[in-house]
Structure 1
Amino acid sequence: MKTSRRHFLLLSVGVGSSLVLSQAAFADAGNRLSETDPKAKAVGYVEDASKVDKAKYPAFAAGQTCANCSLFQGAATDAYGGCTLFGDKQVAARGWCSSYSTL
């Protein structure tokens, strides 16, 4: 059976859509980083940047969140997204940790 270019493109779009949907389902499947996770504790991760202990983390500045950190792998509008620090765990876009970077 010879596959046409049109068939290949339609198949590619279908597979791509499935991956996007499965990624969204994966994010909602409880793969979110917990503040009690040892890796999260090591960098002072909190799900809400307004709850950062400013005495413990004096480098924190208002407006810093995971969503605008260079390590965040989601879109700035996503509620949760990946982070290069935490592997397959999802972090809260409104969260913060001491590894915050704008590079």
Structure 2
Amino acid sequence: MIKKSSRRRFIQLTTGGIIGLTLGNKLLIRSVTAAELPQLKQNSPQAKALKYVNKSTIQSQNCKNCLLIRRDGSNSAWQPCAIFPGKSVNINGWCSAYAPQPA
């Protein structure tokens, strides 16, 4: 009798935990749009270290065609970037971490 009750309790707790994790993940984690992120300032230490500029001077090399840009689905001129977490970069910008998207 004790084994059935502990097995039943284990299944109840496991099922409840799985449901709780699934719902908690949906409620607590959400994607952020570029509009909600602060824009990267060219004079910030990280931007300076990677030579970031808001307007690329190198033809056909800019953030909008970089592998590291994280498009958020909006048509905003500012988009999230993997190199600058928590900041958005100008899609016409450039930095020394530029990596072209595969064709």
With the length of structure 1 as denominator, give the TM-score of the two structures. Answer: 0.60
SS at match of 2:48: helix
Kindly report which structure 2 residues correspond to 1:56-71, keeping only aligned pairs within 5 A, or say none. Answer: 61-71=58-68
Q: 1:41 aligns with which of 37, 43, 48?
A: 48
The structure whose Rg is larger is: 2
Change (3 A) 1:26 1:43: same
Percent of matched pairs sharing the same residue: 33
Q: What is the RMSD computed on CA atoms of the aligned residues? A: 2.4
State the aligned residue count.
Answer: 72
The gaps in structure 1 that reach 5 residues or longer are 1-14, 51-60
Is the 1:49–1:96 contact (alpha carbons within 8 Å) kept by the matching residues of 2?
Answer: yes
> What are the ranges of 5 or more consecutive residues in structure 2 without an aligned counterpart?
1-25
TM-score between both structures, scaled by the size of structure 2: 0.60
